[in-house]
Amino acid sequence: MKKMDGKIAFITGAASGIGRATTGKFIAEGARVYTIDLNEEALKAMQMEFGADKFACQVGSVADETAVDKAFADCAERFGNVDILVNNAGLGIPTPDLSNTSLADYQKMVDVNMTGVFLASRAALRQMKPRGKGHILNLISMAGQRTNPGAPVYCASKFGARGLSGGLADQMIKAGIKISDINPGPVNSNYWGDREVPRDKFLQVDEVADIILFVAATPGHLVIREINFDNMKWLAK
C-alpha cells in the first residue's frame, strides 16, 4: 500500500521548487493534489504530466482571499475535502538595508508568507473540522528561528508564520487536526534568483520534499510539531 493512498492534498505554490517536487512525490504515493500558483505555464505542463484525475489547479495568489476560497471549493468538488494542506508558497526579497527597503517589498513578503498561510489554513480547516481530522504542514524554514542581517523582513514574516502555526496547533489539537512546522535550512531553489550563493552546500528540493512526505505520512495519532534539518556542509562552513 502506498503512503498517501486516497489522500487529498492541497499544496500552495506547487508550480516550482519544493512545491513541485512535493507534488510529484505525493502523487507517486497515491494522493490527488490541488494547487494554487501564479505560474500558469508551469501549471499547464503539470496538468499534462500528471493528468486531471490526479492533479488540478487554479491560477492565483495565496494572498487573494477570493482566489483561495474558490480554489478550495473547486478542490472539494473535483476530488473531495482536503486531508492534507502544505503551506509551501513563499516569497523572499533581500533587504540588506532597511532604510532603503520599500513598503511594497515588505508588504509582498507579509502577504505571501503570513496572509497566505492564514487564508489557506482557514479554508482547509473549514473542510477538516467537521470530519474531526486533517493535517496542516507549514513550510516555515529556519528563517523563522534565527535572524539574518540580509533579510530582516523575510525573517519577520517567517517568525510571524511560526507564531501563527504554533497557536493554531494548540487551538486545533482537541479538534483532531495536526499542525506541523517544516524548517529546512537554505535550499537550492528559485528563492535565490541570480545571487551568488554556495548552492552545493544547500539542501536540494527533493530532500525537502522527502521530509514533507515523511511528516505527512505519519499515523493519525502521531504528530510532529516541528522538524528542523540542514545540509551538514552548510553547518560546517
Alpha-helical segments (H) within 111-188: 116-128, 152-172
Count CB-CB contacts under 10 A for residue 78.
13
Length of the chain: 237
For residues 101-126, b (16+ Cβ closer than 10 Å) or e, as one string?
A: eeeeebebbbbbbbbbbbbbbebbbe
Contact 138, 215 (CB under 8 A): no
Angle, CA of 110, 35 and 207, to the nearest 5° = 80
Residues 6 or more apart whose Cβ sits within 8 Å of residue 62: 12, 13, 36, 68, 89, 112, 115, 116, 117, 119, 120
Residues 91, 112: Cα–Cα separation, whole Å:
6
Q: Three cell numbers at 13?
A: 505554490
175: left (phi > 0), else alpha (psi -120 to 50), else beta?
alpha
Residues with catalytic roles: 154
Residues 118, 175: Cα–Cα separation, whole Å:
18
